[in-house]
Structure 1
Amino acid sequence: MVSSTPVVIYPPDEDGGRRVRADGSILGLAYSVRDVVAFLQEAGLQGWDEMDVVRSALIEWRGGGPAVWTR
């Protein structure tokens, strides 16, 4: 379950995937905002959509914001 601990989206790797971490656990490798939504829904945020991910202060984007998926 995702708590108030930030969700960290790491910089894109050489294939454009970004690791998604919440509560100290890697949730998966995202290739789009839609993937981030799916991981967060699986972690307990079922009501979240793409706009929630883009706008939320709970998300810490490293190496570029939600529009960056390449190195």
Structure 2
Amino acid sequence: MASAPIVVHPPLGTGGRRVAVHGQILGLARSGRDVVEFLRRAGLEDAENLLDDPMWVTWRGGRAHHYEAA
């Protein structure tokens, strides 16, 4: 089984989560809105509808949609 192309990394100690597509870091998200904007800039116009789809997104460490400091 292939891994999801989008990875939202664990929350950092300072808050926020790194977001990557195919291993390339797009930025540090502090909210779902940030994640959607990073993905939109990467060419995924329908990003809002992909965030809870495990075929597209892997949420590592912590709960999905949780951005506070670890």
TM-score (norm 2): 0.79
SS of residue paired to 1:16: coil
The code of the aligned residue for 1:20 comes to V
**2:6 maps to which residue?**
7
**1:35 maps to which residue?**
34
**2:53 maps to which residue?**
56
| Runs of 4+ off more than 4 Å | none
Residue identity over aligned pairs, in percent, reads 45
CA deviations 1:6-54 (Å, max 9, x no partner) are: 21111111221100011121000000111000000001111322x431x
Matched residues in 2 for 1:5 and 1:35: separation? 19
Instruction: Calculate the aligned-residue CA RMSD, in Å.
Output: 1.7
Matched residues in 1 for 2:57 and 2:4: separation? 9
SS of residue paired to 2:62: coil
Distance 1:67 1:24, change over 3 A: closer
Conserved? CA contact 1:40–1:48, under 8 Å: yes
Unaligned runs of 5+ in 1: none
Matched residues in 2 for 1:15 and 1:69: separation? 10
Distance 1:19 1:56, change over 3 A: same
Question: Between Structure 1 and Structure 2, how many residues are aligned?
Answer: 66
Conserved? CA contact 1:9–1:19, under 8 Å: yes
